């Protein structure tokens, strides 16, 4: 039984591990060097007392002559700079070899270091799961292992290992993508997001595959360099050697020119177009609602005043005598109030009707966007144009703007596999850089790395796992 790597332990049951590799003799804990020192902390917690720890070589055989090694005292080692353990020393039993050895913990601790490798990888591993401040990561380790690792050390470990960790994951991801047969489809979502790091404004440009949700390209550039030319360059660089057929974007005036130059189909996001309309309409509806509220309160007041007058003059019926000046004055006031209340009621009707009209047309426009065929879309669009004259002015101006873009709003019905919205990319942004995290990063590199961690998570979950799910379903 010669064990050289940690992996081989997987073949053992927990019972066997305690039989072969971990021995407890009274207060003495003897561990073979294939077992992580993390176990010391766990066992001490379980036993509720500290243990004297001796690490021994798992084989106890001379690597030069294969002879048995004889024990030859122990050597102190300060694990994690705070925990004294001992390493078994050996001498080869073969008289013609006589080599000296000390148990090596290289599997868990880098040569010449005291902290476990695990500590050094902890910041990166945790960051790959979710955003955590470095101060919190150092607190977690210090609490669990009774150490005093500073936030700066954690940051240093993070910087030291992040790139390598990410690259390893990327290698695996690209390998898995190839195995799963995921290729660029030709139809992509494009959008950008803006973030601020210290005083620098950055634009994050993204291309997401409309078919398989793979992120084919992402780039952070300073806002000063963000323009039609740089977007175009980003797209052509990213899609170099890959099919480029159509782009789904929101309605920004930089995009049509790019699509024209690249000779590709341009689809405008319906969700954004609907959002534009809702913004306009809601502004008006809210303003009208405020007016309605004000008028309803005023009407109530006037009606109260009329009622009061009516009560006062309850017993005086019929014509009022000319000489009854006091009564005449009251009567005039009542007339005036009634006139006022009629006007307010008319205004209320108009305001409510206007809001109703806005909602009516909004629903018609929404229905048009939901059309499943080009013919239905065109019919609904034509109906709107025919009834435009009677519509509220907000609707008229919206439809006028829409007319110029109607082609770009129907490409999803003319061609296969073009989505009608940019929601997939909106969702990606929401997941990979939350609004509340946008201002947290102190360096561009920090933001880059966070985005990269999140992107890898996103691809594993939404591209690779999605593919597997689909395959499972088709098998059933």
100 contacts Zn ion (rule: CB under 5 A): no
65 contacts Zn ion (rule: CB under 5 A): yes
CA dist list (Å): 277 to 66, 363, 377:
82, 11, 18
374 contacts Zn ion (rule: CB under 5 A): no
Closest CB to Zn ion among 3 and 65? 65
- CA dihedral over 388, 392, 394, 397, signed as positive or negative: positive
92 contacts Zn ion (rule: CB under 5 A): yes
Residue 80, Ramachandran bin (φ over 0: left; ψ between -120 and 50: alpha; else beta): left
Q: Which stretch binds Zn ion (CB under 5 A): 76-84, 86-94, 217-225, 320-328?
A: 86-94
72 contacts Zn ion (rule: CB under 5 A): no
DSSP 178-223: HHHT----SEEEEEEEEEEETTEEEEEEEEEETTT--EEEEEEEEG
409 contacts Zn ion (rule: CB under 5 A): no
| 2, 59 Cβ separation under 8 angstroms | yes
CA dist list (Å): 66 to 87, 92, 412:
21, 9, 72
Q: Which stretch binds Zn ion (CB under 5 A): 90-98, 201-209, 388-396, 447-455?
A: 90-98
DSSP 68: B
Token pair for 218: 């992402």
Closest CB to Zn ion among 4 and 343? 4
Closest CB to Zn ion among 101 and 226? 101
Q: Which stretch binds Zn ion (CB under 5 A): 14-22, 57-65, 356-364, 407-415?
A: 57-65
Q: Which stretch binds Zn ion (CB under 5 A): 63-71, 266-274, 407-415, 448-456?
A: 63-71
62 contacts Zn ion (rule: CB under 5 A): yes
69 contacts Zn ion (rule: CB under 5 A): no
Q: Can you give the length of the chain in residues?
A: 476
CB of 69 to Zn ion, least distance (A): 8
64 contacts Zn ion (rule: CB under 5 A): yes
427 contacts Zn ion (rule: CB under 5 A): no
φ, ψ for residue 205, nearest 5 deg? -100, 135
Here's the x/- map for Zn ion, 3-42, by CB under 5 A: it reads as ----------------------------------------
CA distance 110 to 120: 10
DSSP 93-106: S-TTT--EEE---T
CA dist list (Å): 136 to 131, 441, 449:
10, 15, 18
CA distance 287 to 163: 53
Q: Which stretch binds Zn ion (CB under 5 A): 66-74, 147-155, 322-330, 441-449?
A: 66-74
Token pair for 111: 């040569």
Closest CB to Zn ion among 2 and 199? 2
CB of 57 to Zn ion, least distance (A): 13
Q: Which stretch binds Zn ion (CB under 5 A): 94-102, 325-333, 341-349, 453-461?
A: 94-102
391 contacts Zn ion (rule: CB under 5 A): no
Q: Which of 97, 130, 160, 385 binds Zn ion (CB under 5 A)?
A: 97
Q: Which of 72, 94, 211, 444 binds Zn ion (CB under 5 A)?
A: 94
CA distance 72 to 463: 56
Query: Could you list the residues that contact Zn ion (CB under 5 A)?
Result: 62, 64-65, 67, 92, 94, 97
């Amino acid at each position: 039984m010669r064990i050289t790597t940690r992996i081989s332990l997987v073949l053992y049951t927990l019972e066997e591990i305690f039989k072969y590799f971990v021995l407890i003799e009274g207060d003495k804990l003897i561990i073979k060097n294939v077992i992580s020192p993390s176990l010391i902390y766990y066992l001490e917690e379980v036993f509720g007392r500290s243990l004297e720890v001796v690490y021994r070589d798992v084989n106890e055989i001379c690597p030069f002559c294969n002879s048995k090694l004889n024990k030859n005292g122990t050597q102190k080692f300060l694990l994690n700079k705070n925990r004294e353990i001992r390493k078994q020393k050996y001498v080869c039993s073969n008289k013609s070899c006589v080599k000296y050895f000390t148990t090596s913990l290289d599997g868990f601790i880098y040569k010449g270091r005291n902290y476990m490798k695990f500590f050094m990888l902890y910041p990166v591993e945790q960051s790959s799961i979710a955003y955590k401040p470095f101060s919190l990561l150092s607190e977690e380790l210090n609490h669990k292992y009774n150490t005093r690792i500073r936030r700066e050390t954690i940051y240093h470990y993070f910087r030291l290992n992040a790139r390598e960790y990410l690259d390893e994951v990327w290698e695996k991801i690209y390998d898995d993508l190839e195995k799963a047969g995921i290729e660029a489809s030709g139809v992509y979502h494009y959008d950008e997001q803006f973030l601020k790091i210290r005083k620098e404004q950055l634009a994050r440009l993204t291309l997401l595959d409309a078919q398989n949700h793979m992120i084919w390209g992402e780039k952070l550039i300073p806002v000063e360099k963000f323009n039609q030319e740089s977007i175009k360059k980003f797209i052509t660089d990213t899609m170099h050697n890959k099919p480029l057929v159509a782009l789904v974007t929101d309605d920004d005036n930089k995009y049509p020119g790019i699509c024209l130059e690249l000779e590709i189909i341009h689809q405008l996001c319906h969700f954004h177009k609907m959002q534009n309309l809702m913004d306009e309409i809601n502004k008006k509806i809210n303003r009208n609602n405020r007016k309605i509220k004000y008028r309803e309160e005023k009407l109530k007041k006037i009606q109260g005043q009329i009622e009061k007058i009516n009560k006062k003059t309850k017993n005086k019926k019929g014509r009022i005598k000319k000489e009854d000046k006091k009564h005449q004055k009251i009567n005039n006031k009542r007339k005036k109030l009634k006139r006022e209340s009629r006007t307010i009621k008319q205004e209320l009707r108009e305001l409510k009707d206007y809001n109703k009209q806005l909602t009516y047309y909004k629903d018609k426009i929404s229905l048009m966007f939901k059309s499943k065929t080009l013919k239905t879309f065109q019919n609904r669009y034509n109906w709107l144009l025919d009834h435009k004259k009677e519509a509220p002015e907000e609707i008229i101006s919206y439809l006028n703007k829409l007319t110029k873009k109607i082609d770009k709003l129907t490409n999803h019905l003319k061609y296969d596999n073009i989505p009608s919205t940019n929601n997939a990319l909106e969702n990606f942004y929401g997941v990979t850089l939350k609004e509340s995290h946008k201002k947290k990063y102190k360096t561009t590199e920090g933001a880059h790395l966070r985005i990269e961690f999140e992107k890898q998570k996103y691809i594993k979950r939404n591209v690779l796992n999605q593919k597997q799910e689909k395959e499972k379903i088709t098998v059933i």
